């Protein structure tokens, strides 16, 4: 067997989108030459294409161990670390690889994505521009173009992103993702050609239900911008109906909350408090998605001593591992032993190192904004007992509408069903009430409506709660040259406005199921001024 020829053949097949045909070749190569980096690299590429990230990491790590000087092993391993949202491991590998092959498409695309994860859009931009320029295959250029547009939108260059998307829609008519992105970013006046193209996708029986759903979602946005609010809501509803969303059980939420309270009792957390990391550096912003968390993070992040690292899933990952390891009745005894041995401070140290990747200056406070970390407040308090927690709240109807119109991440199917959303909303409210009863002085409630009604008053209270001296920059958060990748990226670049308060009234009787579910639970929303 000609190893070099076979490796090239397998690599070409994977690049052409035919990874399954490459697999038998890769297996033969691994059996014949297990100490060569190349076969392990190819197996890593195969797993990457198949979205088997953990298996891909194992193969890429082995390839790197066998040939650590090669650019291609660094690139693949760095690429997988980016996919796993581990920038602290990816960045150095990719930077070293880029020094070796500065014009390589994959390394520049991966570096751009890595910097985006780190909320450093201005650093990401030149790498993504290089990736667009150096992509050889249409799919390579197109994928890099979409990431570049994502980056431009995140750094406040939305008009430039729209211009590039418009060109991509023309250049790649068979690849509709740019069209969907353009539909979600549209503002008045809505281009007639955009509506026509979206409708054409919806009417095309040859396209997948996923394409139809994405086109409907974007078309709904166009109609909403045009003032056709009830029609927009009905269009979003059609999109959601196509996806066959996961069923949600209120009993499961109640059971999870009960298990959380059982594990993280107040007495237990009080007992462990001296064993955690005593820094007050972290500020965690939690709440329902689309409840004002991005706004709040921008306000605090505008303070000169704060670095806003955006959303990460690191706390939730650790919390899941901790729960799985301590699910038995002896959990408290086990944790006590580990804590006394320094485990909590070790975990906190890992988070501190992770946070430091984002901090290039002399910032002393870090703002982490992962909404669903409301489920992890007990874990946060255990490792960082002096951390501040800001709980963002918003009228449930406005909160639902804001979620309903967007393509949320995996795990948020509840956001597309009014009853499921209310049940998740109430479960989150109940859990946050429990956390506040455990440590009331470390949780600040931030009702979105109160911030809109009295920006300076609420901002001053928020900054004081965080233990920070007052700085006028917090009132001018919208002028900051920051990277914002959430759906609120356009809103937080403007001064505060009130049009999103009671927005739900635009949609007529479409929200009757939501209010019926709230009434059934005896819940009436009121803002609570801190």
* Per-residue pLDDT, 529: 39
- How is residue 486 annotated by DSSP? S
pLDDT (0 to 100) of residue 482: 67
**251-520 CATH choice from 3.40.50.300, 3.40.50.800, 3.40.50.620, 1.10.760.10:** 3.40.50.300
Q: State the pLDDT at residue 480.
A: 76
How many CA atoms lie less than 13 Å away from 356 in the CB half-sphere? Answer: 7
pLDDT attached to residue 528: 44
Q: How does pLDDT run along the chain (530 residues), one tens digit per residue? A: 788 898 999 999 998 889 999 999 999 999 999 999 999 999 999 999 999 999 999 999 999 999 999 999 999 999 999 999 899 899 999 999 999 999 999 999 999 999 999 889 999 999 999 999 999 888 899 999 999 999 999 998 999 999 999 999 999 998 999 999 999 889 889 999 999 999 999 999 999 999 999 999 999 999 999 999 999 999 999 998 887 666 667 778 899 999 999 999 999 999 999 999 999 999 999 999 999 999 999 999 999 999 998 888 889 988 888 888 787 777 788 888 878 888 888 888 888 888 888 887 778 999 999 999 999 999 999 999 999 999 999 999 999 999 999 887 767 888 889 999 999 999 999 999 999 999 999 999 999 999 999 999 999 999 999 999 999 999 998 787 767 655 555 665 566 777 789 999 999 899 999 999 999 998 876 654 33
344 touches 275 (CB < 8 A): yes
Nearest-angstrom CA–CA distance, 389 and 329: 28
pLDDT of residue 488: 57
Contact call for residues 164 and 145 (beta carbons, < 8 A): yes
Length of the chain: 530
Placement of tokens 């070099």 in the chain: 4
Q: What is the dihedral of CA 110, 112, 118, 123, to 10 degrees?
A: 150
* DSSP states along 55-87: HHHHHHHHHHHH-TT-HHHHHHHHHHHHHTT-H
Going by their DSSP bridges, the two strands 282-287 and 365-369 should be labelled as: parallel
Instruction: Give the strand pairing for 388-393 and 282-287.
Output: parallel
Give pTM, 2 decimals.
0.88
Domain positions in the chain: 176-244, 251-520
């Amino acid at each position: 067997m000609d190893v070099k020829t076979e490796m090239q053949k397998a690599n070409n097949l994977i690049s052409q989108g035919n990874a399954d045909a490459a697999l038998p070749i890769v297996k033969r190569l691994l059996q014949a030459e297990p100490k060569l980096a190349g076969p392990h690299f190819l197996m890593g590429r195969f797993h990457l294409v198949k979205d088997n990230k953990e298996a891909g990491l194992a193969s890429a790590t082995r390839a790197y161990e066998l040939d650590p000087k090669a650019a291609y092993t660094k690139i693949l391993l760095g690429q997988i670390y980016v996919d796993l949202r581990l920038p602290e491991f990816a960045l150095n590998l990719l930077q070293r690889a880029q020094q070796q092959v500065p014009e390589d498409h994959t390394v520049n695309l991966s570096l751009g994505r890595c910097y985006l994860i780190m909320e450093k859009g201005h650093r990401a931009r030149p790498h993504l521009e290089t990736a667009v320029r150096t992509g050889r295959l249409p799919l390579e250029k197109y994928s890099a173009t979409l990431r570049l547009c994502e980056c431009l939108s995140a750094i406040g260059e939305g008009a430039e992103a729209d211009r590039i998307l418009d060109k991509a829609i023309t250049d790649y008519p068979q690849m509709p993702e740019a069209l969907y992105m353009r539909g979600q970013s549209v503002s008045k006046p809505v281009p007639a050609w955009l509506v026509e193209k979206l409708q054409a996708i919806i009417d095309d029986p040859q396209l997948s239900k996923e394409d139809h759903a994405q086109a409907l979602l974007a078309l709904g946005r166009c109609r909403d911008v045009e003032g056709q609010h009830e029609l927009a809501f009905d269009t979003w509803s059609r999109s959601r109906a196509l996806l066959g969303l996961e069923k949600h059980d209120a009993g499961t939420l109640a059971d999870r909350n009960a298990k959380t309270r059982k594990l993280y009792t107040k007495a237990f957390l009080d007992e462990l408090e001296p064993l955690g990391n005593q820094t007050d550096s972290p500020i965690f912003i939690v709440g329902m998605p689309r409840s004002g968390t991005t706004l709040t993070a921008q306000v605090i992040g505008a303070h000169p001593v704060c670095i806003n690292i955006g959303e990460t899933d690191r706390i939730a990952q650790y919390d899941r591992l901790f729960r799985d390891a301590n699910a038995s009745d002896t959990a408290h005894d086990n944790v006590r032993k580990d804590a006394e041995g320094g485990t909590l401070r070790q975990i906190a140290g890992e988070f501190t190192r992770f946070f430091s990747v984002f901090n290039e200056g002399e910032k002393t406070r870090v703002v982490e904004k992962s909404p669903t970390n409301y489920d992890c407040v007990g874990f946060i308090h255990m490792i960082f007992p002096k951390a501040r927690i800001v709980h963002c709240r918003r009228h449930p109807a406005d909160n639902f509408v804001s979620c309903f119109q967007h393509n949320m991440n995996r795990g948020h199917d509840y956001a597309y069903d009014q009853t499921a959303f209310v049940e998740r909303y109430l479960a989150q409210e109940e859990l946050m009430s429990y956390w506040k009863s455990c440590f009331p002085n470390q949780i600040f409630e931030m009702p979105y409506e109160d911030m809109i009604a009295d920006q300076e008053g609420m901002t001053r209270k928020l900054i004081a709660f965080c233990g920070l001296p007052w700085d006028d920059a917090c009132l001018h958060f919208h002028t900051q040259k920051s990277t914002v990748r959430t759906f609120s990226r356009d809103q937080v670049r403007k001064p505060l406005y009130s049009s999103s308060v009671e927005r739900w009234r635009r949609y007529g009787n479409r929200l009757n199921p939501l209010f019926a579910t709230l009434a059934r639970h005896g819940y009436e929303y009121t803002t609570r001024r801190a």
